[in-house]
Structure 1
Amino acid sequence: MRRAANAAAAVVIALLGAVGLGACAQIPTSGPVRVGNAPVETQVDIAMLPQGPTPGAAPQVIVSGFLGAAVAAATSPKEFQTAREYLTSDVAATWDPDEAVRVVREAPMPEPFEEAVELGTTDTIEIVVRATTIATLDSAGAYTEVGSPREVGYRFTVVKVGSEWRISALDNGVLVPANLFANQYRATRLFFPSADDDNSLVPDLRWFPRRSWQTVAVQQTLAGPPEWLQGATQSLVPEGTQLAVQAVQGRDEADVVAIRLSEQISAVPAGQRAVIAAQLSATLSEGAGRVIPVELFSDQNRLSVEAADVDLPATIAQAIVLKDDRLYRVDDGRLVEHDMTIDLSGTDPTALAVSPGTTPIVVRNGDDQIVNVSLDEGDGPVPLLEGPDLAAPSVDKFGNVWTSGGSGELRVSTSTLDEVTIEPEWLKGRKVTSVSVSPEGARIAVVSETPSGRQVQVAGIVRDAEDTPVSLAAAISVAAPVADVVEARWTGLTALALLTRNSEGASSVWTAGVGGLAGTGGQSRQLPGLTDVEQIAAGVTDQGILVVTEDGDLEHEETGVWQPIAEDVDLVAYPG
């Protein structure tokens, strides 16, 4: 028994010795896909070579060996062949490792046998492996954090096959220790054209096994947008299009990637074909530090592909500060007076929002009115929306002003001053406390109150032909373990900055990923320092997160350190 336990521990220790690496670097946000000069965190693939069962291994060692081989398969050229050697032949043929990935807090270890068990007198034994799941990954690579992690016992039935022990019953999927997840699975952004603009690409973060991430990424792009982006994005790929060759690899020394597709792709018009190539190039270029060109083939026939002028989400303008009833721009760590004047007469500004198109500039007046303060001089503030406990406004790229409404509602004042009420089924019965529209206008982050606490969700925005929002797609949950969120703002292509405040008034700032936080193994991360934050501002920009403290200090987050910018600041906002 001691030898079996030692061997089991050795397998787990070997797995823990691997270092989790990898992150997604951003690529250029407008124009043709091209090389950028932003710092790049290079993704390094470290192959873990799984070992098959040794003759005479005890049941515990068989289970431990299987767990290690299943994890290593994400980078191993043998994939899951070695893991299946630990299974009986019929179970090896039916076990589906891709059904689900459970990211567990600690390395899973089989529990010791009960003293009454005598291996020499039985040919069947049940072994329990206890682990705490902190996140899950579905078969499409979608990552979801678990809100209330709890320890679960996973049961393995081990039987004698001849003179050797093999696993005869187990759950589908694999258990991956959190410290190994980023080494085994690669954070990969897919891109889909916005429903209102073929050349505006909307990102969707997935996690794919490192051994085959390029191939799987192309397959998932061909499959089209996920449910939460349905109606907000589109697919230009003809239905039924598949990879003609089940592998995606560089073609030559220039690392041009040749993607061979089924014949349906040849019917796509040249302009749309250019966007499809740009989608795939953007995905395959992330983390490479340069653009990876893409060539499209219809079976063996190379297709002509022009360069597409595509845009990625980006906050173009600088952050705006309200101080002493005047506007300032945050420019290189200092305040510069804004050239636009505003009229705040008769208002009590408690939140600020700026359109990505410069105007309108709106403020929340107290907590029950949203007003436009950027109209022609002499007109005064113009009310847009009124109601109790309105959320801080967000202005999308079309000039629509968003805030909360009644129970389960969002309210929008359109650019033509009409009002739209949106009531998504997933928001039913909840009070909305924060709204934030992404820079490209296809996604919205919503914080709402539920019976079990506040919840952060993101959904696609469905618009009509005039770009007026008409509904929201199904929502996905973000940052489930982060409690007491009061505000969410976009801070990256697929990331949110979160402000939390507990019952005692202490605040904290977090970053969380829509589909997992790239570079951290997917998990939400708390930024150190500052417990007296009153407001946050963030954008899809290199300028980082800004906060205003309870004392009116404006500070900037830079690699986890808060740097002061100005004092006596009232409000701050990035466009959006």
Structure 2
Amino acid sequence: MRRPGNAAAAAVVALVGVLGLGACAQIPTSGPVRVGNAPVETQVDIALLPQGPVPGTDPQTLVSGFLQATSAAATSPKEFQTAKEFLTTDVAQTWEPEEAVRVVREEPMPEPFEDEIELGSTDTVEIVVRATTIATVDSVGAYTEAVSPREAPYKFTVVKVGGEWRISALDNGVLVPANLFSSSYRATRLYFPSASDIKTLVPDLRWFPRRAWQTVAVKEILAGPPEWLQGATQTLVPEGTRLQSPSVPGRNDADSVAIRLSEQISSVQAAQRAVIAAQFSATLSEGAGRVIPVELYSDQSRLSVDAAEVDLPATIAQAIVLKDGDLYRVDDGRLAEHDMTVDLSGIDPTALAVSPSTTPTVVRDGTDQIVNLSLDEGEGPVPILEGTDLAAPSVDKFGNTWTSGGQGELQVSTDTLDVVKIEPEWLSGRRVVSVSVSPEGARIAVVSETPSGRQVQVAGVVRDAQHTPVSLAPALTVAAPVADTVEARWGGLTTLALLTRDSEDTSTVWTSGVGGQASTGGQSRQLPGLTDVEQIAAGVNDHGILVVTKDGDLEHEETGVWQPIAEDVDLASYPG
């Protein structure tokens, strides 16, 4: 179940830099308007009450009832007890329903019997259920989309026991129809302290049964970071710390949530204890519309917990664009003058990037060189990285500039202009197409060429004491159904904005979740209305996605509506 990972005052956790900083959108007075239909994220807890088997039920109806009971179990206080009533006694004791969740496109239905089967003359039948799996959720809540969803058979052996049919053989796990998945399982962001700064929290999206998501979330935070964040994040919880109470109270039960842990938690220093409380609070507060204070207990003793000001990933600065050789800020739906003057003489700018801390500002010159525009040396742009078919650069919060290198390689120009080569095993032999570092600097999204096509992966960034990247953690594959991705940019806490381009040069814009998307039942989603995009820019903020079309139109997406901002734009970039 693990994935390689003052007494009178309430413990109040201040969460700053969460996702605000959004400006009101400017209503356009000219140009085309393109309309989409972006989803609205909701987190609604609904209880479904499963029904047990009815005496005299035939095998097909029995299996149908079992499937309905397993779907309802994620929201029911009875959990899987009712579903196990459909099983023989021995199988009910060994079946592991939470080993895997298979999200299927359609409601799974048993196939009809073959004509020669006579139920009155047999005590064993096999029932086949066919369903198309579009995603899976493992035992720790990690969501993975299927690359190519295909219909597959699921077999159930049904036998007569005391005159009643019961299931005697089946696979572990459950089948959940896609239209019920979001109402049965809750998208929940766990937070782990960054390895570079314990007051920076890094999100990891999981999906937990709604009936007990708070309890499961606390247990998984105690278990530590997942493999893909190993080395990029850390755990402050002492080894062996357990949840002592049977469950964590729901957030509506009281003004604060009491989390009772084993005695190991009492050994943690005050500053670290405050961050642990902040982890729990950030996780339990999402969707509540307010900060949920957390009280920590060591067995029955309440611990003193100070307020901790922690940061969640956020893109603070405005987007910048390059137009006619000058830089501009995107300010309230308009272009505003930038305070930095650049000299692009002899430069062919094909991509733009700026640090979240404002410097450096870099451009890709053609396809084989990255130059720094912001070095005060009186020499104009300074080359910092070279190579063949370099990926558009990304600049992290520590001032390091990232791009592609040779086969299976990333190269990084540090803030001291040293060049670091990074060759993770999972990139071996591949050409890197796109790189994007998240705002907090602990995660990187990489698009690379594989023998079977383009692949989007996310991995933790491991850094040394000077914040120089030294390696990447094992990768997590995301956006599996999205083909022909040419760019990936961070567009949310756990969301990527993707640009695709097919062999006929038709482009599409997608959003895809690192661990699924809460607003779409986990699935990647295409944004309608655009087929002529040359470049995308996105940030972890409320401003939506920016695109530059092939005609140089800069357009802005907000809640699914594409609105024009400016014409004759060459490049656009959010910090990162």
Which TM-score tier does this pair reach, normalised by the shorter chain? over 0.9
Moved over 4 A (4+): 31-34, 36-42, 250-254
The Cα of 1:103 is off from its aligned counterpart by: 0.3
- Alignment pair present for 1:77 and 2:77: yes
- Aligned pairs for 1:461-540 within 5 A: 461-540=461-540
Aligned match of 1:23: none
SS at match of 2:149: coil
Deviations 1:59-108 (A, max 9, x none): 00110000000010000011000000000000000000010000001000
Letter aligned with residue 419 of structure 2: E
CA distance in 2, matches of 1:492, 1:233: 19
SS at match of 1:539: coil
CA distance in 2, matches of 1:155, 1:40: 37
The Cα of 1:561 is off from its aligned counterpart by: 1.3
- Change in Cα spacing, 1:217 to 1:354, as seen in structure 2 (3 Å) is same
Is contact 1:555-1:562 (8 Å) kept? yes
Aligned match of 2:570: 570
The Cα of 1:431 is off from its aligned counterpart by: 0.3
- Alignment pair present for 1:345 and 2:331: no
Deviations 1:433-462 (A, max 9, x none): 000000000000000001111000000000
CA distance in 2, matches of 1:186, 1:42: 10
Deviations 1:315-347 (A, max 9, x none): 000000000110000011000010111121210
Aligned match of 2:32: none
The Cα of 1:152 is off from its aligned counterpart by: 0.6
Is contact 1:28-1:312 (8 Å) kept? no
SS at match of 2:522: coil
Letter aligned with residue 88 of structure 2: T
Aligned match of 2:16: 30
- Change in Cα spacing, 1:331 to 1:252, as seen in structure 2 (3 Å) is closer
- Alignment pair present for 1:283 and 2:283: yes
CA distance in 2, matches of 1:41, 1:249: 24
CA distance in 1, matches of 2:40, 2:499: 27
Letter aligned with residue 101 of structure 2: V
SS at match of 2:77: coil
CA distance in 2, matches of 1:171, 1:81: 17
Is contact 2:14-2:307 (8 Å) kept? no
- Aligned pairs for 1:100-139 within 5 A: 100-139=100-139
- Change in Cα spacing, 1:402 to 1:33, as seen in structure 2 (3 Å) is closer
Aligned match of 1:24: none
- Alignment pair present for 1:61 and 2:47: no
Letter aligned with residue 109 of structure 1: M
CA distance in 1, matches of 2:82, 2:524: 33
Is contact 1:58-1:165 (8 Å) kept? yes
CA distance in 2, matches of 1:440, 1:28: 18
- Alignment pair present for 1:398 and 2:398: yes
Aligned match of 1:415: 415
Letter aligned with residue 269 of structure 1: Q
- Change in Cα spacing, 1:130 to 1:250, as seen in structure 2 (3 Å) is closer
Aligned match of 1:208: 208
CA distance in 2, matches of 1:541, 1:548: 19
SS at match of 1:474: coil
- Aligned pairs for 1:156-305 within 5 A: 156-249=156-249, 254-305=254-305
CA distance in 1, matches of 2:384, 2:214: 47
SS at match of 1:276: helix
Aligned match of 2:9: none
The Cα of 1:28 is off from its aligned counterpart by: 8.5
The Cα of 1:237 is off from its aligned counterpart by: 0.2
SS at match of 2:140: coil
CA distance in 2, matches of 1:361, 1:210: 45
- Change in Cα spacing, 1:253 to 1:184, as seen in structure 2 (3 Å) is closer
- Change in Cα spacing, 1:243 to 1:37, as seen in structure 2 (3 Å) is farther
Could you tell me the TM-score, scaled by structure 1's length? Answer: 0.93
Deviations 1:406-447 (A, max 9, x none): 100000001111111000011111000000000000000000
CA distance in 2, matches of 1:40, 1:386: 43
The Cα of 1:374 is off from its aligned counterpart by: 1.4
Is contact 1:315-1:541 (8 Å) kept? yes
The Cα of 1:42 is off from its aligned counterpart by: 5.0
CA distance in 2, matches of 1:149, 1:32: 36
Letter aligned with residue 263 of structure 1: E
Is contact 1:341-1:374 (8 Å) kept? no
Is contact 1:41-1:287 (8 Å) kept? no
SS at match of 2:97: coil
The Cα of 1:376 is off from its aligned counterpart by: 2.1
SS at match of 1:243: coil
Is contact 1:458-1:475 (8 Å) kept? yes
Higher relative CO (Cα under 8 Å, sequence separation at least 6) belongs to: 2
The Cα of 1:559 is off from its aligned counterpart by: 1.2
The Cα of 1:250 is off from its aligned counterpart by: 5.0
Letter aligned with residue 556 of structure 2: H
CA distance in 2, matches of 1:543, 1:379: 35
- Change in Cα spacing, 1:367 to 1:101, as seen in structure 2 (3 Å) is same
Deviations 1:342-395 (A, max 9, x none): 121210000000011111000000000000011227321100011110000000
The Cα of 1:43 is off from its aligned counterpart by: 2.1
- Change in Cα spacing, 1:37 to 1:52, as seen in structure 2 (3 Å) is farther
Is contact 1:248-1:257 (8 Å) kept? yes
The Cα of 1:30 is off from its aligned counterpart by: 2.3
Structure 1 window deviating more from structure 2 (386-395 vs 337-346): it is 337-346
CA distance in 1, matches of 2:214, 2:342: 50
The Cα of 1:37 is off from its aligned counterpart by: 13
SS at match of 2:98: coil
Aligned match of 2:8: none
Deviations 1:121-175 (A, max 9, x none): 1000001000010000000000000001111100000000011000000000000
Letter aligned with residue 382 of structure 1: V
- Alignment pair present for 1:358 and 2:344: no
Is contact 2:40-2:519 (8 Å) kept? no
- Change in Cα spacing, 1:265 to 1:469, as seen in structure 2 (3 Å) is same
- Alignment pair present for 1:324 and 2:324: yes
Aligned match of 2:31: none
SS at match of 2:462: strand
SS at match of 1:199: coil
CA distance in 1, matches of 2:355, 2:251: 44
The Cα of 1:29 is off from its aligned counterpart by: 6.2
Is contact 2:198-2:275 (8 Å) kept? yes
The Cα of 1:515 is off from its aligned counterpart by: 0.2
SS at match of 1:180: helix
Percentage of identical aligned residues = 80
Is contact 2:14-2:310 (8 Å) kept? no
Could you tell me the TM-score, scaled by structure 2's length? Answer: 0.93
- Alignment pair present for 1:388 and 2:388: yes
Aligned match of 2:87: 87
Deviations 1:164-198 (A, max 9, x none): 00000000000000011000000000000000101
Aligned length: 549
Aligned match of 1:96: 96
Is contact 1:250-1:258 (8 Å) kept? no
Aligned match of 1:552: 552
SS at match of 2:225: coil
Aligned match of 2:312: 312
- Change in Cα spacing, 1:497 to 1:265, as seen in structure 2 (3 Å) is same
Letter aligned with residue 209 of structure 1: P
SS at match of 2:489: strand
